[in-house]
Structure 1
Amino acid sequence: RHALRLTDGRGGPDRPGGRPMAEQLRIEMDTYRLPSPRLGRPVLVFEVTSKVTDDLFLLVPRPRIVAILNGILGRAQQKTADFDFDLYGYYFMSNHLHLLIGVEELVDKSLVLEWVNREIARRINKYHDRTGQLLTPNHAIQITSEAHALERLRYVMGQATAQLKTRHPADDVFACANPALLRGEPLTGVFVHGNGVEEEVTVRLDRLPGLGDLTPRSHRALMWQLADGIAGEHRPRRKKAGLPVPDPEAVRQVDPWTRPKVRDRSPAPVVHGTPEQQAEWRALHATLREAYTEAHIAYWKWLADPRQPLIPFPPCTIPPSHARKRLCARAESG
């Protein structure tokens, strides 16, 4: 039986007078850990996607925005006292982002994403002189094998090429891992501390599970093989559409207050794995949802009246962030 961790993925909790809990909970399948070359230990690997509110192009790759986004990731990697994570690849398109990360515990994923998304919202809002929500809640999908992990890295590397914004992943001007993966260039950024001091930071890219034994030359050759395949896949689409070779600099000039004319929405899988693993996920989700919901309702009743009994969340699960903080404080206070 798989060890699982569930969290309230999106939406509100199931509680009297409250919003209904999300239909889909986030589940960790502990059996499908992959070996981290950096740590030398198995980790949970996730592809994380977050979209900009209303699909606005607020992450348009102007040099300062690229520096801000790289700076946030670089600073997150410095916060090892709070959380630790592998970063295998990333891509910030103008209206959404993708991260490929590895964590030892599900709580680390939550802590990383809470911090990174909060800092992105604060700093990009300040850049555009706006307030309010910047990113929709993230969607994190577990990756179950080394082969699927490489497939997802290829997908992330090809974001702009697939949208016919660049000819080849090597041409990208977006904040992404491609310059390091393909040319070994440092991914530098700027992090502005609370006292106004600007610190130049560099994003560390970690080897994907399964690629740790490759020499630097062999690893770069594999990345170029992926990138050339991406360019070759989408070249016929561009020619069929009668589009010229795209100018990567053109994307810097996009109005950040506009959005795509057509919104492409495809359903996301529950895991990046085999059909059997997706069926396994659904069966496990159905098994644990009832117990998780019962614990969630009890938590909100306890919050309203501390005399009410708490029901533990199911074994190998993690409460949603709002409950996790209160329950940790309760445990520490005795």
Structure 2
Amino acid sequence: MTLVLDSRTRRLTDAQWALIAPLLPSNTGRRGHPFGDDRRVVDGIIYRFRTSTPWRDVPRAEFGPWQTVWKRHRRYAGDGTWDRVLQALLSQADAVGLIDWDVSVDATIARAHQHATNTTRPDQDTGAFSNYKHLPWDETEPPGHGIGRSRGGLTTKIHHVVDGHGLPLAIVVTGGQRNDGAMLEHVLGDIRVPRIGGGRPRTRPDAVLGDKAYGSGVNRRMLRARGIRAVIPEKSDQITVRKHKGSKGGRRPAFDEDAYKDRNVVERSFALIKQWRGIATRYDKLAITYRAGAVLHACLTWATLLGDTP
């Protein structure tokens, strides 16, 4: 399956909006004054992340007051709206068999612009910001805002789980220095695909494809305990230690080389999401709003696929 999402398009297509609109709070029984011009405001949010323009410079003639665009995104990020939209789209996709549950996991670095770093934060932020599991949302902003100091300076890391076609299932934001392998259990824990018609949401993939950074004994035992097949190459130092111990070193972990060739889909997913300049470089002070931009991109990706499905 090959999915092409035209990131140069500033407006939602009719097919995308038809899937997303019913899931927004203004159309789901929200009390109080109804939101106006939902589509125009969401277009404005997409425009901002696509172009990385400052919020104040979002064109008023096309998208309305910038304050409305910013406040709506902050609200939807803070109350979990974008995550609920993504879960609903994933539920629809799973119901028609569009999700390949041999998932790939990896992380990518985004440099934090000076506009994102003029906040009070600890020297090293090892916290993570993710989805629904950490409600109430306003208490989930990590103390360092998901910005850490690594070799590249002040950076943020986006941890991605994608299905076998490279479509996003879970997104976690941490400081840039956070070890990829140490975040595996947390990232997999953010997979949640509700089932249409009731029942427990699906949270467990069939297999996990990852590079050597995820090959620790802790991760392999965690995957084995959950009944998930690990397609992860063994680290060279682990091979040396195992051989040095001889028969006491145990057997070599199973590794499917042919299946591992499909791991590149997660790299392609990063190439796609970083076409949005506001994701490739972080300009947002809050991890909540920055991650919500990545989740919104995931929503559009799935909405595009579902809209093209007969």
Higher normalized helix content (fraction of residues):
2
TM score, norm. by length of structure 1: 0.26
TM score, norm. by length of structure 2: 0.27
